[in-house]
Amino acid sequence: MDAKVLIESFAEFARSKNVDRPTMIRILEDVFRAMIRKKYETDENFDVTINADKGDLEILRIREIVDDNSEDIWDIDKISLSDARKIEPDFEVGEEVYEKIELEEFGRRAVMMARQTLIQKIKDLEKDLLFNQYEELVGEIVSAEVYQILGREVLLIDGEGNELILPKGEQIPKDRFRKGDTVKAIVHKVEMVNGNPRIILSRTSPIFLERLFENEVPEVFDGLITIKKIVREPGERAKVAVESYDDRIDPVGACVGMKGSRIHAIVRELQNENIDVINYTDNLELYVSRALSPAKVTSITVDKENKRISVFLKPDQVSMAIGKGGFNIRLASRLVGYEIDVFRELSDYEEEDVDLEEFVDEIDGWVIDELKKTGLDTAKSVLSLTKEDLLRRTELEEETIDEVFKILKQEFEQ
């Protein structure tokens, strides 16, 4: 393989990958200088000229002419007068000899090694380009096609044939993919693993939901509406706090759209994830009240020192405040940055009920706290639920729930 073929093949690849000319020339020169160092021990007195467009290569060895009896005659950058005159008969001591070295002089093996080195340089360059390309896209939405479904991840291919990874933990639980499906996700992170770029996507990140709002709501994309915070239980529920600095724009209405047209597109993409869009406010009590929507709050007590909020609701509003699986209250707590405790306001009939705190001598305090987190603050409110309900709502063991039921039932039997 001659220099022309080597250079032209590399230049063609480099241009297809939009590699700038200086980088292309630098890589080619590095490869040829490595050949020179292997044969001559140094490349300091060599001049390498490459014309990537024409595939031309010129390697010149530069040596100073010294007298045949000189002590410097064995120096790498020196040549004896007699040897110099074999090249050009009228050379004199002190002049420089520019000797052209043909690629073939390095030997077939060296040329093949150069070819392998160049191929590896191409691969390394391609990896670097891919890494840099996707590093700039972190936090942005990309679309890719599913080509392989594995147990712990889905492998996708982008438009240029690059492999992207969507791990199980970054998929919405309701996601079901088939080969050939087009998938939207954000670029979550890009890392180098054993010299290879690994591009991780995510559909569960709050940033994914934020980008979907930017795509569907022009006011968000233009910055007229600001998304203050997003919290999600992927595939189940999300709460999005929005704010507008223009009094003429209703941020919630703009995000939802006419008859829900804008929000519906987002909900479909997220496998019917329930999305609550909330008007942000600096008024903490009002913010908490909005965060617990659709439940209607009667009164709120804020403990700023311990970052806890006590919320009081009518009995028929408690289950709405907690939400299916406790998602609503957990998301509201994360949205406002406070731990929220839900309490029921007692009606005249319920005044015969007994507060759970009365059982502190029989039931461990941490168990009572766990029940209170889900709005269960009285004996009757606990007994009104089944064991299965409590297992789903709390993190209590089955034996603990059985013991709680036993203690509370004894109170009313007496």
Per-residue pLDDT for the chain (414 aa), expressed as one digit of tens each?
567 777 777 777 777 777 778 888 888 888 889 888 888 888 888 999 888 777 788 889 899 888 888 888 888 888 888 888 888 888 888 888 888 888 878 888 887 888 788 778 878 888 888 999 999 999 999 999 999 999 899 999 998 889 999 999 999 999 999 999 999 999 999 999 988 999 999 999 999 999 999 999 999 999 999 999 999 999 999 999 999 988 889 999 999 988 888 999 999 999 999 999 999 999 999 999 999 988 888 889 999 899 999 998 888 788 888 888 888 999 999 999 999 988 877 554 445 678 888 888 888 888 888 888 777 888 888 888 888 888 877 888 888 888 888 888 887 765
Q: Which amino acid is at 5?
A: V
- State both tokens at 319: 């289950």
Widest distance between CA atoms in the chain: 126
107 phi, psi to nearest 5 deg = 95, 155
Neighbours of 220 (CB within 10 A): 24
Rg of the chain over all Cα atoms, to the nearest angstrom: 36
- Specify the 3-state DSSP secondary structure of 339: strand
Neighbours of 360 (CB within 10 A): 12
263 secondary structure, DSSP code? H
Pick from 20, 2, 108: which is nearest to 56 by CA?
2
Residues 6+ apart with CB under 8 A from 85: 91
Neighbours of 221 (CB within 10 A): 13
- Residue 101's DSSP bridge partners are 59
CB contact at 8 A, 225 and 244? yes
